[in-house]
Amino acid sequence: MNDNKVERVRQNVMMLKQQFLQGGTGVFDQVLGDREIAAVAAVLVEPHRERIYPPLDTLRLFVGQVLSADRACQDVVSRRLSERTAQGQSANALNTGAYCDARKRLPIELPVTLGILAGERLEAMMPPAWRWHGRCVKLFDGTTITMPDTPSNQQTYPQSREQKPGLGFPIARIGALIGLSSGSILGYQVAACKGKGTGEQSLLANLLYQLNESDILLADALLATWWIIHGAMNRGADVVMAQHGVRITDFTRGQRLGKNDHLVQWPRPPKPKAMSAEEYADYPEFITMREVKINGRILVTTLLDPAFASAQSLGALYKMRWNIEVDFRTIKATLEMDMLRCKSQPMVDKEIAVYILAYNLVRWAMAKAALLADVLPRMLSFAGAKRLLGTFADQLRRTSGDQIRNLITTVTACMATLRLPHRPDRIEPRAKKRRPKNLPLLTLPRQVARDLIYAQRSLNRVP
């Protein structure tokens, strides 16, 4: 890679960093350090022409696109025109074809690697006071998203069987590990919503390698299986989950620790068909589990010492599992990832990766503001932080020297004031107040419905 190209890579990374308040030598000021810049440069070693949309420019514009209110490619092309005009470069056309082609050429490994790396690094840098008993807690859950109804998307992420062809939308399931302290995404898996290996248990099993020693996995009852718990223990991690509905809890058995609190041995389940006898024999015959009833719910955990984790503290910790539901709502509603826009499966996967990169970069800025305000990152408004970063995006990218440091300080201080109200035990009905328009449901493919309208007009036309 020649010196000019290396310098362009550094400049583009710097613009991306500055847009998310990264600059200086503070605790949360180096989301992308020199090693990451070198890794990005290594990805771009393969020869490529100097286009209007080189890879890192394309990634930066793609991140800005998913964070924008418009999210249209036309908006990105217009912003690119304003950038090039301000820099004294030749004007680019307002046709979106070149930008869309550049997104197709962008290697998916780039946003995936940078997004997960940013999330892992942020969670690892959380101060001990922001953790649970000084330990890292990782939440897991799954959610679904939809995408345009195209043959490519339908082939990989088919629509529900209950929907007729041409009337539904492809749907994908996403399982994600999210840090409790930082709110950042530490790993994720994408799968269809039907077929073998597409359930939440399978997605979590594929993410267990993301657990580190002394981590605590916090999940709901669906994930409280012998195999998942053993997999987490094999990584040196502990689990806190609600008891699975099919498992019977009898507090008259086992080693009593207190009222409705005991240790029991969970026997190894029967051998799965896909597992060899040799592999099955390597698993222990029993694992020791603690079962405790608190707040009307039975929890199961590998935190066996009540002196370290009392029943009350376990109940309080499990209530924090709801944060991942809020995080998914943030990703799907605030970032509007609920309905993707790309029309082919490779671009859908790339769009998801860019959304996660953008989400984690906003979380970095929020952690920096939280440290300044001496509050927990989750006490700040994600929607407010996203809105503030979008307002200052152009100035943050284009400013340099002392001015950028002053600007970052100002935006960080403003973000630190965006505190959420304290609303313990808040509940809301799962219902909509605003009524939709009274239109009939589409019961035929759209093109067929159009043809019927045209045919009806022809019949009603006066000769």
Quick one: how far is CA 72 from the chain centroid?
A: 21
Q: Cβ atoms within 10 A of the Cβ of 112, count?
A: 18
- Whether 431 is in a domain gets the answer no
CA 352 from chain centre, in angstroms, equals 8
pTM of the model: 0.92
Q: Which amino acid is at 167?
A: L
- pLDDT tens track for 206-257: 999 999 999 999 999 999 999 999 999 999 999 999 999 889 999 999 999 9
Q: Which H helix or E strand runs over 17?
A: helix 3-19
Cα-Cα-Cα-Cα dihedral sign, residues 404, 407, 411, 412: positive
Choose among 28, 104, 18, 125: nearest CA to 59.
104
Q: Are 140 and 327 in contact (CB under 8 A)?
A: no
The pLDDT, as a whole number, for residue 3 is: 59
pLDDT score, position 32: 67
| Unique residue bearing structure tokens 């301000």 | 86
Residues 356 and 294 reside in one and the same domain? no
What does pLDDT average to over the chain? 89
Same domain flag for 309 and 348: no
Residue 124 forms part of a structural domain: no
Residue pair 217/138 in contact by the 8 Å Cβ criterion: yes
Position 25 pLDDT exceeds 70: no
| pLDDT reported for residue 250 | 93
Give me the helices (H) in 206-272, please. 226-234
Residue 300 lies in a domain: yes
Cβ-contact 145, 174 below 8 angstroms: yes
Q: Which segments within 225-367 are labelled E, that is strand?
A: 238-242, 255-258, 261-267, 286-294, 297-301
pLDDT tens, 364-392? 999 999 998 999 999 999 999 999 999 99
Sequence-separated (6 or more) residues with CB below 8 Å from residue 72: 65
Q: Are residues 11 and 97 in the same domain?
A: yes
Domain that holds residue 275: 221-320
Q: Which pLDDT does position 426 carry in this prediction?
A: 74
Q: Is 27 domain-assigned?
A: yes
Q: How far is CA 91 from CA 94, 188, 265, 336, in A?
A: 9, 39, 70, 31
Mean pLDDT, rounded, for 57-79: 89
pLDDT, position 35: 64
Listed in order, strand segments (DSSP E) in 221-313 are: 238-242, 255-258, 261-267, 286-294, 297-301
Q: How far is CA 25 from CA 21, 22, 124, 400, in A?
A: 12, 9, 17, 16
Q: Give the pLDDT score at 154.
A: 94
Residue 433 counted as domain residue: no
Distant-in-sequence, close-in-space partners of 352: CB < 8 Å, separation ≥ 6: 145, 174, 188, 190, 337, 340
3-state secondary structure string across 71-101: CCHHHHHHHHHHHHHHCCCCCCCCCCHHHHH
Q: How many domains does the chain have?
A: 2
Same domain, 351 and 410: yes
Strand order in the sheet with 137-146: 185-192, 171-179, 137-146, 216-219, 238-242, 297-301, 286-294, 261-267, 255-258
Which uninterrupted H or E stretch holds 347?
helix 345-373
User: What percentage of the chain reaches a pLDDT higher than 70?
Assistant: 92
Looking at residue 49, its pLDDT comes to: 66
Task: Tell me the two tokens of residue 73.
Answer: 């490619």
Handedness of CA 269, 274, 280, 283 (dihedral sign): negative
Query: Hey, how many other C-beta atoms are within 10 angstroms of the C-beta on 401?
Result: 7
334: tokens are 């605030």
16 pLDDT band, cuts 50/70/90, is confident
What percentage of the chain has pLDDT greater than the value 90? 58
For residue 318, what are the CA distances in angstroms to 270, 306, 311?
Answer: 29, 16, 11
Q: What pLDDT does 180 receive?
A: 96
pLDDT by residue (tens digit) across 302-347?
A: 999 999 999 999 999 999 999 999 999 999 999 999 999 999 999 9
The model's confidence at residue 153, banded by pLDDT at 50, 70 and 90, is very high
Does residue 393 register a pLDDT over 90? no
Is 115 within the bounds of a domain? Answer: no
How high is the pLDDT of residue 339?
A: 94
In a domain, 456, yes or no: no
Say yes or no to pLDDT of 6 above 80: no
Within a domain: 73: yes
